[in-house]
A and B are shown apart, each in its own frame.
Chain A
Amino acid sequence: MRGTGRGGRKRTPDHPGGDGRRSGIDPATDTRETTGLPTQRLGQAMYEFFEHTADVGLRVEAPGLPQLFAEAGQALFAVVVGDLERVVPRCERTIALEADGLEDLLHDWLTELLVLLDVDRLVLCQFDVSLSGSRLSAVVRGEPADPARHDLREEVKAVTYHGLGVERISSGWRAEVILDV
Chain B
Amino acid sequence: MSEKSFSGPLEPITETCWRIPASYRSGMRVEGRIFADEAMLDQIRSDQAPEQVANVATLPGIQVASLAMPDIHWGYGFCIGGVAATDPEEGGVISPGGVGYDINCGVRLVRTDLRSEDVQPRIADLVGSLFKQVPAGVGTRGPYRFDRKELRRILTDGVRHLQSLGMATEGDIDSTEAGGALRGADPDAVSDRAFERGTDQCGTLGSGNHFLEIQVVEEIHDEQAAAAMHLDVGTICVMIHSGSRGLGYQVCDDALNALRKASSKYGIVLPDKQLSCAPVRSPEGQCYLAAMRAAANYAWCNRQLLMWQTREAIAAFFGNRWESLKMNLVYDVAHNIAKMEDHVVNGQVKRLCVHRKGATRAFPAGNSEIPDRYRKVGQPVIIPGDMGRASWVLVGQPASMELSFGSCCHGAGRVMSRSAAIRQSVGRRIDRELAQQGVIARSRSRTGLAEEQPAAYKDVSRVVDIVHRAGLARKVAKLKPLGVVKG
Contacts and interface: CB of A to CB of B under 8 A. Distances in A.
The reply to whether chain A is a binding partner of chain B is yes
Contacts of B77: 160-162
A4 B49 CA distance: 29
Contact of A181 (B274, B418, B426): B418
Among B74, B252, B426, residue most surrounded by chain A Cβ atoms (within 10 Å): B74
Interface string A104-119: 0000000100010111
Among B76, B100, B260, B415, residue most surrounded by chain A Cβ atoms (within 10 Å): B76
Interface residues of A, number: 43
B407 interface: no
Interface residues of B, number: 55
A70 interface: no
A15 B417 CA distance: 10
Interface in B446-484: 446-448, 451
A54 B274 CA distance: 16
Nearest to B274: A162
A161 B415 contact: no
Contact of A82 (B76, B415, B417, B446): B446
A153 interface: yes
Given A153-B138, A153-B446, A162 B76 contact: yes
A176 interface: yes
Contacts of A1: 419
Interface in A90-146: 111, 115, 117-119, 121, 123, 144-145
A146 B208 CA distance: 19
Interface string A18-57: 0000000000000000000000000000000111111111
A57 B249 CA distance: 18
Nearest to A159: B253
Given A115-B193, A117-B139, A118-B197, A56 B418 contact: yes
A157 interface: yes
B66 to A, nearest CB: 16
Interface in B8-26: none
Contacts of A159: 253
Contacts of B417: 51-54
A63 B418 CA distance: 29
Interface in B171-228: 193, 196-197, 199, 201, 206-208
Interface string B136-162: 011111000000000000000000000
A54 B80 CA distance: 9
Given A147-B139, A160-B274, A161-B256, A14 B76 contact: no
B246 interface: yes
Given A153-B448, A160-B274, A121 B208 contact: no
Contact of A119 (B3, B196, B426, B447): B196
Contact of B419 (A51, A160, A163): A51
A158 B422 contact: no
Contact of A180 (B2, B101, B487): B101
26 contacts: A14-B420, A14-B423, A16-B447, A51-B419, A52-B74, A53-B3, A53-B417, A56-B419, A117-B139, A121-B141, A123-B139, A145-B138, A147-B137, A147-B139, A147-B140, A147-B444, A151-B446, A152-B137, A152-B444, A154-B207, A157-B249, A161-B260, A162-B272, A162-B273, A164-B273, A181-B208
